[in-house]
Structure 1
Amino acid sequence: MAAITLKGNSIHTTGELPKVGAQAPDFKLVKTDLSESTLSDYKGSNVILNIFPSVDTGTCAASVRHFNKEASELKNTKVLCISRDLPFAQARFCGAEGIENVINLSDFATGDFGKDYGLTISDGPLAHLHSRAVIILDASGKVIYEEQVPEIVDEPNYKAALEALHS
């Protein structure tokens, strides 16, 4: 269980993020067109998992915008923005913002992704949503970078995350 904060107040996750060197757990998530997506769909590409509570908050929206901008310049890399938002909300946000370089995926149906990746918030006002985290996978699905953002209202360390792709 990870201890994080929400505006300075302690909250917890149900587990720990997959560690660097570990094979990432497979997942089944829902795309904005309601089709299913699995980790194996991205095999052979580096994958940035940009995970957050809800695209309808300022910090979460900022991370999607930031990774959308960076994604256009990354070779052989897919950026997956993952939350428990409904796919309709994700599609609305991306349409309104002109977001075209990331793939939005929803864990609304089961929450299994959050459980398997140890990032479901277990208590406090955001219980059952995902904590803010970035996990980067190499082309074989191995974790090469992970960051559990300690204060959920803060943005992730974009620079460190992107540098992991170039190491």
Structure 2
Amino acid sequence: MASITFKGQPKELVGKEVKVGDQAPDFKVVANDLSEKKLQDFSGVKLISVVPSLDTGVCDAQTRRFNEEASSLGDVTVLTVSMDLPFAQKRWCGANGIENVITLSDHRDASFGQAYGVLIQDLRLLTRSVFVVNENNEVTYVEYVSEATDHPNYEAALDAVKQA
């Protein structure tokens, strides 16, 4: 299990830590139109950016950065997963011109959080993390950000996408 802190306080994560070489776990999340989405709904290489909430500064910056980079990544699907309600995600994307990232909500079942070992149970938030999954749904890059309020290593994630 990954070890993280949230605002300096140690937090326990629920679920099994995902490692490079693992088969990407399946999940059920909710899209902005309230439809259910699973891993198999997304083909090709996937960059999965996980944030606690889009309404915070670092999460906002992380999602904007991957949105900007998405257009130059070619045939890569960029997903952002959070516990935010789908309505809030849709509103935030519209207000911020986010068009290259698909936002998905894990609020209903915390399925993604448990499957990827990123659920901070006592806060009911997902910890900041980044996963790259290749076209065969094999995990090729993993970063569990040790302090959930810090930025991920954008360059390492983007390099991993280009190599996938």
**Would the TM-score normalized by the shorter structure come out above 0.5?**
yes
Distance 2:3 2:53 in 1: 19
Aligned length: 163
Shift of 1:17: 2.9
- Report the secondary structure of 1:140's partner residue: coil
Distance 2:119 2:154 in 1: 22
Runs (4+) of structure 1 exceeding 6 A deviation are: none
- Report the secondary structure of 2:152's partner residue: coil
Map Cα deviations across residues 16-59 of structure 1 (whole Å, 9 max, x no partner).
4311011101111111111121111112x100110011111111
1:111 aligns with 2:107: no
- Report the secondary structure of 2:23's partner residue: coil
Q: 2:73·2:162 contact (CA, 8 Å) conserved in 1?
A: no
Distance 1:98 1:141 in 2: 29
1:91 aligns with 2:90: yes
Q: Residue 58 of structure 2 corresponds to which residue in structure 1?
A: 59
Distance 2:87 2:4 in 1: 29
Q: 2:16·2:114 contact (CA, 8 Å) conserved in 1?
A: no
- In the alignment, structure 2 segments of 5+ residues that lack a partner are none
Q: Residue 134 of structure 2 corresponds to which residue in structure 1?
A: 138
Distance 1:34 1:105 in 2: 10
Q: Residue 24 of structure 1 corresponds to which residue in structure 2?
A: 24
Q: Residue 161 of structure 2 corresponds to which residue in structure 1?
A: 165
Q: 2:6·2:147 contact (CA, 8 Å) conserved in 1?
A: yes
Distance 1:27 1:16 in 2: 13
Q: TM-score, normalised by structure 1?
A: 0.93
Q: Residue 4 of structure 1 corresponds to which residue in structure 2?
A: 4
Task: Give 1:144's aligned amino acid.
Answer: T
Q: Give the alignment's Cα RMSD to 1 decimal.
A: 1.1
Change (3 A) 1:93 1:154: same
Map Cα deviations across residues 47-87 of structure 1 (whole Å, 9 max, x no partner).
01100111111111111100000001111100000011100
Q: 1:68·1:101 contact (CA, 8 Å) conserved in 2?
A: yes
- Larger mean CA deviation between 106-115 and 5-14 belongs to 5-14
1:155 aligns with 2:151: yes
